[in-house]
Structure 1
Amino acid sequence: MGVSLQPVSMDNWYACTQLKVKGEQAAVFPAPVVYWIAESKYRHDYELRAVYGDEELVGFIVFCAEPDEDDNYWIPALMIDERHQGKGYGKAAMVNLIALLGRMGCKRLMIGHRPNNHIAGSLYESLGFQKVSDVVVDGEIIRLLHID
């Protein structure tokens, strides 16, 4: 399985807006892709990537291309379409993104997830993300990955 991250462009933006999570996941991933595309037009640090499994669009990622005041880079959103979940695309996409951000100079990578999103928590832990604390911030558990 070849997983790649491609920029969201005129050619694929609409297809990205058609991606969706399973109905029961709407509470843990409440913002649709179209929201992230719109917000990226006003947040200069947001970068969008379409996740492809071979040639097929399977997911979507938003990340910050610039660090915050504490030198942390953030991943505001990662989603894999309901038809492609459970096939390893999320983990492969994260591995690719971590490598990309490492090449950009990122040393501290942050991500959050809803406390009841155990699948996301397990995925991030498997990649080396550690809880920053047991305190929930803005409805999310915050995790940190140190990149060498």
Structure 2
Amino acid sequence: MKNSNVKIVELNADNWYTCCELKLSEKQTEYLEPNVISIAQSKFEPTLRPYAIYFGEIVVGFLMFNSVKEELDGYWVYRIMVDKVFQGKGIGKAATTLMIAEMTKLANIQKIVVGYHPENKEAHNLYSSLGFVDQGDRFGKEMAVIKYVND
């Protein structure tokens, strides 16, 4: 499967419902809320940027990040998920790389932060492979890892 076929598209009238129908593996449902919650949240918090993840012309995932600084003086990733049928194919990593590129367009960005449950080994492997580092920051049950972005 070629990761060059992966793209991210801002959530719109043509893809939002499909994003709501995407499914996580049973194990992952304990780590992430349903996409519909994130999509609703984006309608009430206008700084959130939701995107559909496409493989070719098929919607296979969802991601969302904040376009303003938050805790740890960083820009936070709120959600990255790939439908259970399409997991393990490098789509999540390709989409996260595209998201990072999109986030680096934000003014004065120096840090990208993402939180996840320490037991979520898939998330840990993904973020560490992309240069996120654990500096011991914790928010409730989640750990926060940071990627430093060069200006």
Q: Would you say same fold, with TM above 0.5? A: yes
Match of 2:49 among 27, 36, 47: 47
- Report the Cα distance in structure 2 between the residues aligned to 1:36 and 1:122, rounded to whole angstroms: 23
Q: Which has the higher strand share?
A: 2
The alignment's C-alpha RMSD in Å is: 1.3
Superposition map of 1:54-133 within 5 A: 54-68=56-70, 71-105=73-107, 106-133=109-136
Q: Which has the higher helix share?
A: 2
- Report the Cα distance in structure 1 between the residues aligned to 2:142 and 2:102, rounded to whole angstroms: 25
Query: What TM-score does the superposition give when structure 2 sets the normalisation length?
Result: 0.92
- Report the Cα distance in structure 2 between the residues aligned to 1:3 and 1:90, rounded to whole angstroms: 9
The SS at the match of 1:132 is strand
Count of residues in Structure 1 that have an aligned counterpart in Structure 2 = 146
Deviations 1:65-111 (A, max 9, x none): 12226531000111010000000011001110111111223220000
**Distance apart, 1:136 and its partner CA:** 3.5
**Distance apart, 1:132 and its partner CA:** 2.4
- Report the Cα distance in structure 1 between the residues aligned to 2:110 and 2:56, rounded to whole angstroms: 29
Runs of 4+ in 1 over 6 A off after TM superposition: none
Identity of aligned residues (%): 34
**Distance apart, 1:53 and its partner CA:** 1.0
Query: What TM-score does the superposition give when structure 1 sets the normalisation length?
Result: 0.93
**Distance apart, 1:123 and its partner CA:** 0.7
The SS at the match of 2:115 is strand
Unaligned runs of 5+ in 2: none
- Report the Cα distance in structure 1 between the residues aligned to 2:104 and 2:98, rounded to whole angstroms: 10
- One-letter code of the match for 2:82? I
- Report the Cα distance in structure 2 between the residues aligned to 1:85 and 1:112, rounded to whole angstroms: 20
Report the counterpart of residue 34 of structure 1 in structure 2: 36
Alignment CA distance shift 1:92-1:112 (3 Å): same
- One-letter code of the match for 2:79? A
The SS at the match of 2:139 is coil
